[in-house]
Amino acid sequence: MKKVLICNQKGGVGKSLIADELAFSFERSGIPVAFFDLDVQGGTIHRTDQRQDAEVAVIDTPGALQRQMGVWMAEADVIVIPTRPTSRDIEPLLRMLEIAAKNAPTTPLVVVINAWNRWRASADFRAWFQGQVKAGKMTVLTLPQSEQFVQASAAGQSVIEYAKSSKAARAMQEVVNTIRDLIGIVAE
């Protein structure tokens, strides 16, 4: 079973959003998916489901540094680290990248910059972060700041289904397909 770990010690960066969207993607494709919501605060549309026939496990972690994080990373086939483009997110992001480098040095990383907007702070954050990226090991994607994510969640749906032609849906489709590709599953 392929394991996709979504993690960041900081809360409010989009971990649950991405976990749900991945689960929706596998469901749309008829791929059996196990879902693990390890965050006691909740926030996901999906509930923990430890399917025995699962081909993929999606693991949503808490917004706090856990002692098991290194073990979880070592067992993952792909590590997804969502972040927001603010100065408050730099230290937690760098810490997560250090933990990944130490515990899962060959595991592909996908960093998703969530709530990307047209303001200077987002552009400055991306420029800074591009200087941190190690070639070949990390993929960096962005999700736009969009009310459509909130509306889709309130409707209990994927943004890809809820607002099919929106910028939010197109960006999320790229995130989902990138992760699917990294674990060897054909894009939607």
**Residue from 67, 103, 100, 81 nearest 14 by CA:** 81
The DSSP line for 1-12 is -EEEEE--SSSS
| Segment holding 170, helix H or strand E | helix 167-182
Strand order in the sheet with 56-60: 33-37, 56-60, 2-6, 78-83, 109-116, 138-144
SS3 at position 186: coil
The C-alpha atoms of residue 92 and residue 136 are separated, in whole angstroms, by: 22
User: What mean pLDDT comes out for the span 175-185?
Assistant: 98
**pTM score, two decimals?**
0.95
3-state secondary structure 56-86: EEEEECCCCCCCCHHHHHHHCCEEEEEECCC
pLDDT of residue 135: 57
Domain extents for the chain?
Answer: 2-182
**Residue from 69, 74, 2, 67 nearest 34 by CA:** 2
Architecture of domain 2-182: 3-Layer(aba) Sandwich (3.40)
pLDDT tens digits, residue range 105-156?
Answer: 999 999 999 998 878 888 888 788 877 776 557 898 999 999 999 999 999 9
User: Is the model's pLDDT at 99 over the cut of 80?
Assistant: yes
pLDDT tens digits, residue range 39-90?
Answer: 888 789 999 999 999 999 999 999 888 889 999 999 999 999 999 998 889 9
pLDDT class of 179 with cuts at 50, 70, 90: very high
